[in-house]
Amino acid sequence: MKYTVITGASSGIGYETALAFAERGKNLILAARREEKLEELKGKITKINHNLDVIVKPVDLAVEENVHAFYESLKKYELETWINNAGFGNFDSVGNQNVNKITSMLHLNIEALTILSSLFVRDYENVEGTQIINVSSAGGYIMISDFVTYSATKFYVSAFTEGLAQELQSKGLKMKAKVLAPAVTETEFELRSLDVDEFQYEGEVPKFHTPKEMAGFMLDLYDSDKVVGIVDESTYEFHLKDPIFPFREFTGNKDS
């Protein structure tokens, strides 16, 4: 029995992606901080297909020790797809940003994603049919005013994942690595970015996608041979693309 792992599955894109993969008949391991939301999601998935195995893993991946323990807890399962969706943003100028908040954001958006990606690749890089999809942002390809630190974390995700994809390909390994780059999506993202309790997308944001639409784009990327699935911030059209960042294979002596 093979499983698809989705982090940040308690709401938004991760939540809808879990439902979309359940529709495909995929067994799921769902991770997020809020256990009650995960259990609610598990109940919905059971209604879609009661034969699916759904494992709930409440965990705060912003804490490094939790990241390693979380991955270790999955060793007894055979994994097929890993989706690193967990992450959050921060809306503030660099000089005014809350350092404690961005420290947590750096741990989650960069550190946890890198550790989990590395461990999954180490174990499954030469297994046919395996994929890793890391969720970046349209802001991982352009810098956005008052989102500079967040954008920088997503530039890392985009560059790391594109580089991983090409590294795997250049070595003739079987795993595929892909990056999804949404633009504004109607999720809880704005609440945490702005530190507010409510945010009205209608009227406040000229264009945005629903989480269900983004989950559909996730499946399009999953099904494709392309590395990048990105939303054009001008038109809000979704495009599947080859890697965007330049990549050069190392030709020197690693021991030098």
From 15, 141, 150, 222, active-site residue: 150
Examine the residue annotation and report whether 154 is marked as an active-site residue of this protein. yes
Examine the residue annotation and report whether 71 is marked as an active-site residue of this protein. no
CB atoms within 10 A of CB 39: 14
From 26, 42, 154, 176, active-site residue: 154
DSSP string of the chain, one letter each residue: -EEEEEESTTSHHHHHHHHHHHHTT-EEEEEES-HHHHHHHHHHHHHH-TTS-EEEEE--TTSHHHHHHHHHTTTTSEEEEEEE-------S-TTTS-HHHHHHHHIIIIIIHHHHHHHHHHHHTTSTT-EEEEE--GGGTS--TT-HHHHHHHHHHHHHHHHHHHHHHHTT-S-EEEEEE--SBSSSHHHHHHT-S----TTT-SS-B-HHHHHHHHHHHHHSS-SEEEE-TTT--EEEES--S------S-TT-
Report how far apart the first and last C-alpha atoms of the chain are (Å, whole number). Answer: 44
Two tokens at 134?
A: 């890391």
- Which residues are tagged catalytic? 150, 154
